[in-house]
């Protein structure tokens, strides 16, 4: 049987997108890892599955798998590609699309310049919601990493994020510290690790070591988490441009209980099909 897919990216964070509204397939974690392989497979950071909704008030269900085959709760760059995909495939004619994810519901809107604006929901700070082992919520958690103390902020954007301030992302220890924090025992479901350089109150640079993938060219939820962290610590204004290795995202947050709004591009690269 043939399975049609589309390769897409949001600022170089790349995806294999599969329509499971009009097609049927079961892809287990071993198969996902094989497809994600950049030499022997198609190559992607995440697999995105477009499914019918489980609730009548939603338009679609959106499932996300990291390149290591693990299913995760949320993916910001993927959400923008999801919106473009369902419109291009004519799975909907709506310009505002309500989507269920394992981490909560999202509202996606395609704006006039072709970019996609996503209501990413409100961030959560309770340690149990991240999840992070800690006695109380804080802005500054001290983690013992192989005998060295690392200070970081942590929060959930549906998925778990740690945010570390650095003087320069160019010299940040993304490849060495990233994997040790990702797998730190105080994050029982592992964590995405962002390294943030504050350039001004409206601009940051960011690199993210993603859970289940490694460093990617961009991470939408990571950009939201970094800006929320900077705003709640009084370091950033309400609208911030986040420059990642793959390009820039615009992030807005009005404060606690408010949703984070992310705006950025979504690009189709090619269509293909595989035998399953």
Ligand X SMILES: N[C@@H](CCC[C@H](N)C(=O)O)C(=O)O
Query: What is the phi-psi region of residue 81: left when phi exceeds 0, alpha when psi lies from -120 to 50, beta otherwise?
Result: alpha
- Pick the closer one to ligand X by CB: 221 or 243: 221
**Has 105 been labeled as part of a binding site?**
no
Residue 4 near residue 16, CB atoms below 8 Å: no
Give yes or no for a cis peptide into 243 (omega within 30° of 0).
no
Q: Which of 8, 219, 223, 262 is catalytic?
A: 219
Tell me how far apart the alpha carbons of residues 211 and 189 are, in angstroms, rounded to a whole number.
9
Q: Which of 121, 212, 230, 265 touches ligand X (CB under 6 A)? A: 212
Angle between the 220-232 and 76-88 helix axes, to the nearest 10 degrees?
A: 130
Residue 33 near residue 67, CB atoms below 8 Å: yes
Tokens describing residue 51: 């499914």
**Bridge partner residues of 182 (DSSP):** none
Quick note: the x/- pattern for ligand X over 19-48, rule CB under 6 A, is --------------------------xx--
Q: Active-site residue 81, yes or no?
A: no
Quick note: the x/- pattern for ligand X over 163-192, rule CB under 6 A, is -----------------------------x
Q: How far is the CB of 191 from ligand X (least distance, A)?
A: 8
Tell me how far apart the alpha carbons of residues 110 and 119 are, in angstroms, rounded to a whole number.
12
- Pick the closer one to ligand X by CB: 6 or 216: 216
**Has 76 been labeled as part of a binding site?**
yes
Q: Which of 11, 36, 75, 226 is catalytic?
A: 75
Q: Could you give the angle at the alpha carbon of 127 between the alpha carbons of 152 and 195, nearest 5°?
A: 25
3-state secondary structure of 14: strand
| 230 is a site residue for ligand X (CB under 6 A) | no
| 226 is a site residue for ligand X (CB under 6 A) | no
| 11 is a site residue for ligand X (CB under 6 A) | no
Q: How far is the CB of 64 from ligand X (least distance, A)?
A: 6
Composition of the chain by helix, strand, coil, percent to 5: 20, 40, 40
- Pick the closer one to ligand X by CB: 230 or 246: 246
- Pick the closer one to ligand X by CB: 60 or 62: 62
| 210 is a site residue for ligand X (CB under 6 A) | yes
Q: Active-site residue 75, yes or no?
A: yes
- Pick the closer one to ligand X by CB: 147 or 196: 196
Dihedral Cα 144, 148, 149, 152, nearest 10 deg: -80
Tell me how far apart the alpha carbons of residues 203 and 23 are, in angstroms, rounded to a whole number.
42
**How many beta carbons lie within 10 A of that of residue 78, not counting itself?**
28
Q: Please report, as residue ranges, which positions from 66 to 125 form the binding site for ligand X (by CB under 6 A).
A: 66, 72, 75-78
Q: Which of 100, 101, 221, 229 touches ligand X (CB under 6 A)? A: 221
Under the rule (CB under 6 A), what is the footprint of ligand X?
13, 45-46, 66, 72, 75-78, 159, 192, 210-213, 216, 219-221
Q: Which residues are catalytic?
A: 75, 219
Binding residue ranges for substrate: 13, 46, 66, 76-77, 159, 192, 210-211, 220-221
């Amino acid at each position: 049987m043939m399975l049609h897919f589309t390769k897409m990216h949001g600022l170089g964070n790349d995806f294999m997108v599969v329509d499971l509204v009009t097609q049927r397939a079961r892809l287990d974690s071993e198969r996902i890892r094989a497809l994600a392989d950049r030499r022997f497979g198609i190559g992607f950071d995440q697999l995105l599955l477009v499914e019918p909704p489980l609730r009548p008030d939603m338009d679609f269900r959106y499932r996300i798998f990291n390149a290591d085959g693990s299913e995760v709760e949320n993916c910001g760059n993927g959400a923008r590609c999801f919106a473009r995909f369902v419109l291009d495939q004519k799975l909907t004619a709506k310009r505002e699309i309500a989507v269920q994810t394992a981490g909560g519901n999202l509202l996606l809107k395609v704006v006039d310049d072709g970019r996609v604006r996503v209501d990413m929901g409100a961030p959560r700070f309770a340690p149990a919601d991240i999840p992070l082992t800690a006695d109380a919520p804080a802005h500054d958690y001290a983690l013992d990493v192989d005998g060295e103390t690392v200070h970081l902020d942590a929060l959930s954007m549906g998925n778990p994020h740690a945010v570390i301030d650095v003087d320069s992302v160019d010299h940040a220890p993304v490849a060495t510290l990233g994997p040790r924090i990702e797998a730190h025992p105080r994050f029982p479901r592992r964590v995405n690790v962002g390294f943030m350089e504050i350039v001004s109150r409206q601009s940051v640079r960011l690199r993210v070591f993603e859970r289940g993938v490694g460093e990617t060219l961009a991470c939408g939820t990571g950009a939201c988490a970094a800006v929320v962290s900077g705003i709640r610590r009084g370091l950033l204004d309400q609208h911030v441009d986040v420059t990642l290795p793959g390009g820039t995202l615009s992030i807005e947050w009005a404060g606690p209980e408010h949703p984070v709004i992310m705006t950025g591009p979504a690009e189709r690269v090619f269509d293909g099909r595989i035998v399953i």
